């Protein structure tokens, strides 16, 4: 589970759904939740929140300029790789934070991922959960 | 109903800390006290039992006052209707199990309760053994029985099972629940184990740095719906197995057993028996129609 700290910078709500922008270091995450400021206390501008997403939902791209619908595209450096038979865990350094990704070992080999590679970590907006950080 | 208000300055490793709590417990309730070490949990039990005096204590059990420091009233410990079990309860080593229980009787009490407890706690085959020949779990079973011999109104348990292994612990929990119900006790238990608290208690009090920070039924206190995910369930970890570089954590929730992937780094926090909240976003699950007639 990746848990990063951030501050809510923007909330856009419509019919019970909110699109929330959360600033974490220099990166702005986008998350979509089935809540609005009326239904959830933590949904407030400038509120400290935890940004939570599963390792297995983190896509890794070596192509740095993607035309793709995924909103969270975090520039990272590959810190280390833990290769298994079927799965590989990649520790990525984003700014000053570690993001972990788990992809198939096949995918890792096809991309020929190595330490110190520059990559983009991709996380879909609907894979990012938020939680009050108190 | 038991009404408790206590103020006492505690001496802790980090200096002085005021214990300042007030709480109300219904008769027959099973209440757990949860919190970090040094938060004042044991002191609450000790003041209630009369073992420790507080600067300010107002304790009323039903219509009877046990403590009222304003009026300089303190009911002596032997007049308080309590049973107490600690983590390491000292049994009399020179007495047999049965004699240990009989020793706890008041002068004019009938010995009937002793045989009743021996049967209830399944101590028949051990009743003539000396404590040195008993296992940890057996000793605690005797200690529990002994705490009940005088049929107290209140049973105080201070981490009574923390030195036991999981299996023994679970068995003893069943015995505790049984005597709590059979003898219509009001029970206060200090515990660090969430699964134990979930299994036994009607109410849990979370104590932090001398204050009650949360109270309520365990489900509400421990699974506050703070995370935005809408697909949530609470359950208990029943198994953890390694699969390639990840781990499969099996969680039992109601009639369902679900599986969740975890990384090696996360495993430090996960243990079999632990109560957990499993969450996913409303956007992920798929729905399939059951009982489709073709």
The total number of residues written for chain A in this structure: 134
Q: Over 60: is that where the pLDDT of B130 sits?
A: yes
- Domain finish residue from B195, B220, B245: B220
Tell me the CATH number at A117.
2.40.50.100
Same domain, B53 and B79: yes
- Mean pLDDT over A2-8 rounds to 95
Task: Report the pLDDT value the prediction gives residue A6, as an integer from 0 to 100.
Answer: 95
| H/E element, B84 | strand B82-85
Task: Report the pLDDT value the prediction gives residue A12, as an integer from 0 to 100.
Answer: 96
* Tokens linked to A52: 């939570």
Tell me the CATH number at B45.
3.40.50.300
Answer yes or no: do A82 and B245 touch at CB < 8 A.
yes
Nearest C-alpha in A relative to B263? A1
Residue B254: give the domain boundaries: 235-280
HSE (side-chain half, CA atoms, 13 Å) at B266:
17
Answer yes or no: do B244 and A87 touch at CB < 8 A.
yes
- Mean pLDDT over B53-63 rounds to 92
Interface residue A82 vs chain B (CB under 8 A): yes
Nearest C-alpha in B relative to A133? B226
Q: Is the dihedral of CA B268, B272, B277, B280 positive or negative?
A: positive
Across the interface, which of A35, A89, A102 has its CB nearest the CB of B228? A35
- Mean pLDDT over A64-81 rounds to 95
Answer yes or no: do A127 and B283 touch at CB < 8 A.
yes
Same domain, B158 and B245: no
Residue B44: CB atoms within 10 Å: 27
Same domain, B263 and B214: no
Task: Give me the total of CB pairs closer than 8 Å, taking one residue from chain A and one from chain B.
Answer: 53
A34–chain B nearest CA distance, Å = 7
* Each residue's pLDDT tens digit, A55-65: 999 999 999 98
Q: Over 80: is that where the pLDDT of B32 sits?
A: yes
Answer yes or no: do B228 and A131 touch at CB < 8 A.
yes
In a domain, B289, yes or no: no
The number of distinct structural domains making up chain A is 1
- pLDDT band with cut points at 50, 70 and 90 for residue B111: confident
CB B273, CB B292: distance < 8 Å: no
Which burial class, exposed, middle or buried, applies to B37 when counting CB atoms under 10 A from its CB (0-12, 13-18, 19+)? exposed
CB B214, CB B221: distance < 8 Å: yes
Interface residue A7 vs chain B (CB under 8 A): no
Same domain, B157 and B248: no
By C-alpha distance, which of B165, B130, B146 is closest to B89? Answer: B146
Name chain A contacts of B228, Cβ cutoff 8 Å: 31, 33-35, 40, 42, 129-131
Give the whole-angstrom CA distance, residue A53 versus residue A57: 7
CB A18, CB A117: distance < 8 Å: no
For chain A, give the secondary structure using H, E and C: CEEEEEEEEEEEEECCEEEEEEEECCEEEEEEECCCCCCCCCCCCCCEEEEEECHHHCEEECCCCCCCCCCEEEEEEEEEEEECCCEEEEEEEECCEEEEEEEEHHHHHHHCCCCCCEEEEEECHHHCEEEECC
Answer yes or no: do A34 and B246 touch at CB < 8 A.
no
**Phi, psi of B59, deg, nearest 5:** -125, 125
Sheet containing B82-85: give its strands across: B82-85, B154-158, B186-190, B30-35, B203-208, B211-216
Same domain, B116 and B156: yes
Same domain, B55 and B195: yes
CB B79, CB B56: distance < 8 Å: no
Same domain, B46 and B107: yes
Same domain, B184 and B254: no
Task: Report the pLDDT value the prediction gives residue A48, as an integer from 0 to 100.
Answer: 94
* Tokens linked to A4: 């990063």
In a domain, B228, yes or no: no
The number of distinct structural domains making up chain B is 2
In a domain, B170, yes or no: yes
Q: Over 80: is that where the pLDDT of A1 sits?
A: yes
Name chain B contacts of A56, Cβ cutoff 8 Å: 261
Same domain, B213 and B271: no
Across the interface, which of B226, B246, B282 has its CB nearest the CB of A132? B226
- pLDDT band with cut points at 50, 70 and 90 for residue B20: very high
* Cα-to-chain-centroid distance, residue A2: 8
Give per-residue burial for B246-273: e unless 16+ CB within 10 Å, then b: bbebbbeeeeeeeebbbbeeeeeeeeee
A4–chain B nearest CA distance, Å = 14
The reply to whether the predicted model has a pTM over 0.80 is: no
ipTM of the complex: 0.80
* Each residue's pLDDT tens digit, B166-219: 788 888 899 899 999 999 999 999 998 877 888 899 999 999 989 999 999 887
* Each residue's pLDDT tens digit, A19-56: 999 999 989 999 999 888 988 888 999 999 999 999 99
Nearest C-alpha in A relative to B260? A54
Give the three-class secondary structure for B197: helix
Same domain, B56 and B163: yes
Same domain, B142 and B270: no
Name chain B contacts of A126, Cβ cutoff 8 Å: 281, 283-284
Answer yes or no: do B227 and A82 touch at CB < 8 A.
no
Contacts of B30 (CB under 8 A, 6+ apart): B177, B180, B187, B189, B200, B201, B202, B203
Interface residue A97 vs chain B (CB under 8 A): no
Scan residues 203-262 of B and list those with Cβ closer than 8 Å to A: 226-230, 244-246, 261-262
Q: Please work out, in degrees rounded to the nearest 5, the angle formed at the alpha carbon of residue A37 by the alpha carbons of A32 and A43.
A: 65
* Cα-to-chain-centroid distance, residue B43: 15
Same domain, B197 and B271: no
Q: Please work out, in degrees rounded to the nearest 5, the angle formed at the alpha carbon of residue A127 by the alpha carbons of A121 and A128.
A: 85
Residue A51: give the domain boundaries: 2-132
* Each residue's pLDDT tens digit, A102-124: 999 999 999 999 999 999 999 99
Q: Please work out, in degrees rounded to the nearest 5, the angle formed at the alpha carbon of residue B133 by the alpha carbons of B130 and B139.
A: 80
């Amino acid at each position: 589970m990746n848990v990063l700290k951030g501050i809510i910078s923007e909330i856009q709500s419509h019919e019970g759904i909110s699109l929330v922008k959360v600033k974490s270091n220099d990166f702005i995450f986008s998350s979509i939740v089935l809540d609005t400021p009326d239904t959830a206390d933590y949904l407030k501008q400038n509120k400290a929140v935890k940004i939570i997403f599963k390792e297995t939902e983190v896509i890794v791209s070596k192509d740095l300029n993607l035309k793709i619908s995924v909103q969270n595209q975090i520039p990272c450096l590959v810190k280390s790789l833990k290769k298994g038979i079927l799965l590989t865990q990649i520790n990525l350094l984003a700014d000053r934070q570690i993001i972990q990704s788990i992809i198939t070992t096949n995918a890792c080999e096809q991309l020929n991922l190595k330490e110190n590679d520059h990559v983009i970590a991709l996380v879909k907006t609907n894979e990012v959960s938020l939680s009050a950080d108190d | 109903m038991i009404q408790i208000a206590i103020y006492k300055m505690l001496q802790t490793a980090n200096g002085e800390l005021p214990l300042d709590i007030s709480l109300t417990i219904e008769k027959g309730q099973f209440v757990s006290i949860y919190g970090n070490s040094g938060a004042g949990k044991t002191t609450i039990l000790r003041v209630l039992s009369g073992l420790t005096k507080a600067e300010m204590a107002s304790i009323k059990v039903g219509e009877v006052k046990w403590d009222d420091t304003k009026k300089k009233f303190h009911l002596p410990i032997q007049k308080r209707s309590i049973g107490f079990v600690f983590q390491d309860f000292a049994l009399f080593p020179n007495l047999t199990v049965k004699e240990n229980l009989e020793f706890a009787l008041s002068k004019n009490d009938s010995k009937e309760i002793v045989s009743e407890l021996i049967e209830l706690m399944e101590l028949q085959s051990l009743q003539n053994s000396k404590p040195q020949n008993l296992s940890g779990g057996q000793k605690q079973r005797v200690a529990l029985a002994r705490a009940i011999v005088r049929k107290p109104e209140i049973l105080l348990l201070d981490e009574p099972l923390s030195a036991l292994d999981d299996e023994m612990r679970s068995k003893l929990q069943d015995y505790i629940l049984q005597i709590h119900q059979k003898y219509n006790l009001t029970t206060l238990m200090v515990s660090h184990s969430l699964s134990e608290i979930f299994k036994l208690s009607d109410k849990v009090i979370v104590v932090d740095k001398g204050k009650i920070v949360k109270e309520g039924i365990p489900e509400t206190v421990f699974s506050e719906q703070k995370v935005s995910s809408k697909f949530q369930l609470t359950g208990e970890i029943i198994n953890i197995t390694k699969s390639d570089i990840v781990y499969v954590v099996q969680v039992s929730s109601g009639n369902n057993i679900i599986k969740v992937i975890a990384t090696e780094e996360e495993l430090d926090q996960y243990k079999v028996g632990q109560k957990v909240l499993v969450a996913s976003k409303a956007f992920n699950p798929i729905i399939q129609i059951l009982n489709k007639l073709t």
